Structure 1
Amino acid sequence: MLALPEQTRLFLCHDYKAPGRETFQHETSVAEQINGNVHVHKGISEDEFVKMRTERDATLGMPRLIIPSVQVNMRAGEMPPAEENGQVYLKVPLNFF
């Protein structure tokens, strides 16, 4: 991504609305990521990135909405098909996690 021209527009797949930001963000640019992304930016080596993410990820639990999100994402944004009663459901296993 950082090899693209800095004016390249990037459309986000998701946004967690970073602390201090009032709105969700759906678009950014390569330049904005080079200058402001705390994870991937100009000057960070692959080893530094892997170390930082490995240490950080070890402290995180499963994202709150991962189960319903996967059900929609795996269908490229489409909801699951309706069941016999005509209703569409996102299913959450209650005794798995």
Structure 2
Amino acid sequence: MSVRERIEAKLSEAFSPERLAVIDESASHAGHQPDVTGTGETHMRVRIVADGFSGLSRLARHRAVNAVLQGELDAGLHALAIEAAAPGEATRW
């Protein structure tokens, strides 16, 4: 299972999202550091809309997503961009 697939599975289980997209942005970060080649699923963007984010601040939403994905971060996920919203909130994505 790829990193993207594991992230999707973990977030789906934890939040039962209305909408979820996990985007591999690793290629756009190639060469930023000597060991970043852009091929290893090291930089991901998560876009998630879920009821569980209702009433939470942006920081609390990010902390919730980071907590679910801590194992991926510990295993080598270098960067995680998070765009989290509750249903009905305006999103630009």
TM-score by length of 1: 0.23
Q: Which has the higher contact order (CA 8 A, sep 6+)?
A: 2
Q: Which has the higher helix share?
A: 2
Q: Which has the higher strand share?
A: 2
Larger Rg: 1
TM-score by length of 2: 0.23
